[in-house]
Structure 1
């Protein structure tokens, strides 16, 4: 049986937030104060839709966005880690569950030549409309009260594992690698023998410490891709 690797994207695969990184396209690399104040808790995707509309109104087009996005830095050690996973696909399945969007993730992974590492990417659908403006939609509808309106990562993970089981694909272990507060919910899906890997100093590590009673898996903190790589190599050795 394979090991399932589940990655967050922002501040995990890349060392920044792709949604805030795109603001470098804006005039003076910042958003109007009035626009910044329209964010409502749990409705980030709707807020980003307004940001993309504003960028379009400023004449920012696809090629401008792509040029900015492919400069976002990967987290230290992450490209080596992803290349290792790519060379060991007999042992690993690998997915992304992210609150970013399909366009940004595809640009970044393709530019880094690591897009083939991932079997599936679950994120908010994005597309350019006929006017050339970027649009984004909520990934799905869910009823989890702990997660943002647009995405419950636990629901995505549950459904993926269940769908794989219908294809007779079972996993010996799930390793969840993330950083954010919205990564706690899927971590509670993990069982004994699975591994939760929160990034050191980020919200997920703090949420796990606060809600440790909700966690059944082991916990392995990381600060660079090289530490995750060492952990995966030890799994293969076993």
Structure 2
């Protein structure tokens, strides 16, 4: 039976927020107030649609956007961790569940030659339209009251595990690696033999400390080396 590694992306695989990093492709590297102040709580993906529309209207093309996204820094130790996963695919499956978008994640992983480490990416679909503007849409609809309107990571993870089980793939351990508030919900569906890894000093660590419904073992991480050690221990168990 395999180990399943589940990663958030922003402030986890990469050491920044990809959705705010993209603003660096603008000549001014700032958003006008009309866009910046249009955000509404729980509707970040809709906001990012307006951000990318503005970027397109400034005649910043796809190549320029991609070039900027490829400069986002990886979190310390994450490239080594993902390479280890690539080298151990017979024993390890790996998915990304992120509130970023499909283009950003693919570009960033491909820039380091790491896309093959990840079996599936579950995120908000993105594409360039006929005007050259990048469009972002929500990943799915759901009824969860904890999560942003465009994605419940718990539902994504449960559906993935169910599909894998239906195909005969069982995981003896799931290791969930994240940092933010939207990573709490999927942590609640983990089993006692699983591990949830919140990043030290980020909101998920505090939320888990206050949450009584988590069955999984909690293991705090500061770098990809900590996650790699946990994965290696799981493979040896």
Aligned to 1:89: 89
- 2:103/2:126 contact within 8 Å kept: yes
Are positions 1:140 and 2:129 aligned together? no
Per the TM alignment, residue 90 of structure 1 is displaced from its structure 2 partner at its CA by 1.3
Structure-2 separation of matches of 1:151 and 1:203: 18
Cα RMSD (Å): 0.7
Query: Paired residue for 2:201?
Result: 201
Is 2:236 the counterpart of 1:237? yes
Report deviation, 1:7.
0.4
Partner of 1:163 in structure 2? 163
TM-score (norm 2): 0.99
Q: Secondary structure at the match of 2:28?
A: helix
Please name the residue that 1:222 is paired with. 221
What's the counterpart of residue 12 of structure 2? 12
| Alpha-carbon offset, residue 35 of structure 1 | 1.3
SS of 1:20's partner is: helix
Give 3-state SS (helix, strand or coil) of 2:15's partner.
coil
State the partner residue of 1:78.
78
Alignment partners' CA distance in 2, 1:119 and 1:147? 24
The alpha-carbon deviation at position 234 of structure 1 amounts to 1.4
5+ residue gaps, structure 2, are: none
Counterpart position of 2:68? 68
SS at match of 1:3: strand
Tell me the distance in 2 between the aligned counterparts of 1:236 and 1:127: 38
Whole-Å separation in 1 of the counterparts to 2:166 and 2:232: 29
The alpha-carbon deviation at position 27 of structure 1 amounts to 3.0
In 2: Cα distance, 1:159 partner to 1:42 partner: 22
Check the 8 A contact 2:3/2:235 in 1, yes or no.
no
> CA deviation digits over 1:202-233, x for unaligned, max 9?
0110111121x011000000000011111111
CA distance in 1, matches of 2:129, 2:68: 20
Structure 1 residue 3, shift from structure 2 partner: 0.7
Q: Which residue of 2 aligns with 1:50?
A: 50
Q: How many residues were matched structurally?
A: 237
The CA deviation at 1:150 is 0.2
How far, CA to CA, are the matches of 1:208 and 1:119 in structure 2? 27
Shift of 1:34: 2.4
TM-score normalised per structure 1? 0.98
Partner-residue secondary structure (3-state), 1:121: strand
Rounded to whole Å, the distance in 1 between the matches of 2:32 and 2:213 is: 40
* Large movers: runs of 4+ above 6 Å: none
